[in-house]
């Protein structure tokens, strides 16, 4: 059965939040603020927060810097997952993935469908693992950020969540790197 095992101790993670937008300022970044509020309320640490424009290189450079930082466990981005010409977040970040997390997108869309119906197909939310860093790419709306955090990330980033969670496998995430990159 799924749930929190209260006999275990919570393990705080260090999480970076990146907002991708050509128009949002720190004062107007409701999606980033939603994520920061939720992750800190859960007991995690905010490692860094930034806003970058809808530019592949700027997005990739920001995420890569956090992936390369041994203090950052998780990167969550918000914005740029739609279909307009400026929506390039998946294209910027997916090349960084050593492993894709297709289940994240499937569950995100399942949760989103219950809230916004078929409009969920307009999001290209994705996730993966880069080195030993989990990366979650979310749409730019506060509602989508709430859905992803409340419906997936809060449990999966909690060591006490059963039957399994991402935190418990973190010590073994670099096994594929020690053996060399996986062959396609």
Alpha-carbon gap, residue 14 to 157, rounded angstroms: 10
Q: What digits encode the pLDDT tens for the residues 124-149?
A: 999 999 999 999 999 999 999 999 99
182: pLDDT strictly greater than 80? no
Contact in structure between 78 and 138 (CB atoms under 8 Å): yes
CATH of domain 8-166: 3.40.980.10
Which of these ranges, 1-10, 92-101, 136-145, 170-179, has the smallest mean pLDDT?
Answer: 170-179
* Token pair recorded at residue 80: 């740029």
Kindly indicate the confidence band of residue 183, based on its pLDDT and cuts at 50, 70 and 90. Answer: very low
* Number of neighbours of residue 38 by Cβ within 10 angstroms: 18
Q: pTM for the whole thing? A: 0.94
């Amino acid at each position: 059965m799924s749930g929190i095992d209260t006999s275990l101790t919570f393990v705080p993670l260090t999480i970076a939040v990146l907002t991708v937008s050509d128009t949002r300022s720190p004062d107007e970044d409701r999606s980033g603020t939603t994520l920061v509020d939720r992750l800190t309320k859960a007991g995690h640490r905010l490692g860094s927060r930034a806003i970058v424009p809808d530019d592949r290189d700027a997005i990739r450079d920001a995420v890569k810097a956090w992936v390369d930082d041994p203090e950052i466990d998780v990167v969550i981005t918000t914005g740029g997952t739609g279909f307009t010409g400026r929506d390039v977040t998946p294209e910027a970040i997916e090349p960084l993935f050593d492993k894709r997390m297709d289940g994240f997108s499937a569950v995100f869309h399942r949760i989103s469908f219950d809230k916004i119906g078929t409009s969920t197909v307009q999001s290209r939310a994705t996730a993966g693992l880069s080195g030993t860093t989990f990366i979650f790419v979310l749409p730019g709306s506060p509602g989508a950020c709430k859905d992803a955090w409340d419906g997936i990330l809060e449990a999966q980033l909690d060591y006490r969540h059963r039957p399994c969670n991402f935190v418990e496998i973190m010590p073994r995430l670099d096994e594929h790197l020690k053996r060399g990159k996986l062959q396609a």
